[in-house]
A and B are shown apart, each in its own frame.
Chain A
Amino acid sequence: MSDKIYEVFARKNHDGALVHVGSLNASDDELAKAYAWTMYDEENWVEMCVVPRDAVIRVTHDRKIPLWGN
């Protein structure tokens, strides 16, 4: 079982944006949830999510025009 990188997102208020607050390493989704809870506890978040970095689909990078696959 190898580690994956997860991105952590959280929301301060119900009408606020879900913002990126950091990253972490974990061997699975359940430990990623546990770690996010202790590592990024500086606010009383109304919502917190973790996303495997592999699942993030990049649209653009370094201000380049996206490649649309055609």
Chain B
Amino acid sequence: MSTQTAIFESAGDLSAENRTNLRNLLIAIADTKLLLGYHYGEWTFGPPQIEAAIACCSLCQSELGHVRLLHGLLNKHCDEDPDRLVCDRAPEEFANIPFLDSGIANWAGLVAANYVVDFAVTTLLYSLKDSAFQPLHMSLEKMLQEERYHVHHGKGWFRTLALKNEDTRTALGVACARALQDVAEWFGPPEESAERQLLEAGVKQEGSSSALARVFAEIGNSADELQVEVGLHKSNDEWALVEETAWQDWDSRSRRVRQSQPDQDILYHLRGNKNEVFKLS
């Protein structure tokens, strides 16, 4: 929780450390939303129902809109060029939730991306809703309103696959367990220094541990009710990963403990490299 009440109208009002911390955090959120948008777009074709296909198209559209908004903030306040962020970075510079690095193999995986990964990013955004950094505070309301639809859709499909049959329930559990591990890694270790500085300045209003606990509670309670094994256990009324994250190699910029990155193939399609010749600028 913030210990001061100053507000910041621009990133120039923040300390140099917090300008970097904010930049890294916004890039991590935007990268995750960019990859989420890509996968939702891919799954506009192939879901089990035409209704779900239309929903994926809508989810894609809103995620890409959020990316545009976040890139606008990064451009104005952190001197980042949106085109460079999308097209001219090495894959290892991306800081998305690792679950989105590769193609999503089946519908259970897409549901895990929607219910676990998308919800996790939204939960982190809630910790910035009342940010002392005013440009961010002013930008989040519409984004969070749209995200309520995303979680509703994800939760609906989580319930549907959990109840359909043993095979779909198992596939769902496997995908969600992996997504939860990757989400925990992305949220980072407790008491991490960049996060502590953002909290002290009031740029963030809730620590990652607390936000992650809310993600675990949402998914853990749904999984418990529907008897899906997602790699969480409950102890003293709190949900936690069965397999804890080893933090010693965690990198605060990439938000990862391992050397991993989005697939070149995905970045190739996402960037539109094959249409380079048609670019307008």
Interface string of A11-36 (1 = CB under 8 A from B): 00000000000001111101101110
Q: How many A-B residue pairs have C-beta atoms within 8 angstroms? Tell me.
A: 44
Most buried by B among A3, A34, A37: A34
Determine if B51 and A24 form an interchain contact, defined as CB atoms under 8 angstroms apart.
yes
Residues of chain B at the chain A interface (Cβ within 8 Å): 49-52, 54-55, 57-58, 149, 152-153, 155-157, 159-160, 163-164
Determine if A3 and B155 form an interchain contact, defined as CB atoms under 8 angstroms apart.
no
Closest residue of chain A to B154, judged by CB? A34
Contact of A31 with B54 at beta-carbon distance under 8 Å, contacts A3-B49, A37-B149 already known: no
Determine if B49 and A34 form an interchain contact, defined as CB atoms under 8 angstroms apart.
no
Closest residue of chain B to A35, judged by CB? B51
Determine if A28 and B149 form an interchain contact, defined as CB atoms under 8 angstroms apart.
no
Q: How far is the CA of A1 from the CA of B49 in the complex (A)?
A: 14
Residues of B within 8 Å of A34, CB to CB, are 55, 149, 152-153, 156
Contact of A33 with B152 at beta-carbon distance under 8 Å, contacts A25-B49, A38-B54, A39-B51 already known: yes
Q: How far is the CA of A37 from the CA of B150 in the complex (A)?
A: 11
Determine if B157 and A31 form an interchain contact, defined as CB atoms under 8 angstroms apart.
yes
Residues of B within 8 Å of A35, CB to CB, are 51-52, 54-55
Q: How far is the CA of A3 from the CA of B50 in the complex (A)?
A: 12
Q: How far is the CA of A39 from the CA of B50 in the complex (A)?
A: 10
Q: How far is the CA of A39 from the CA of B58 in the complex (A)?
A: 9
Pairs of residues from A and B, 8 with the lowest C-beta to C-beta distance, nearest first: A31-B156, A35-B51, A38-B58, A27-B160, A1-B163, A34-B153, A30-B156, A38-B55
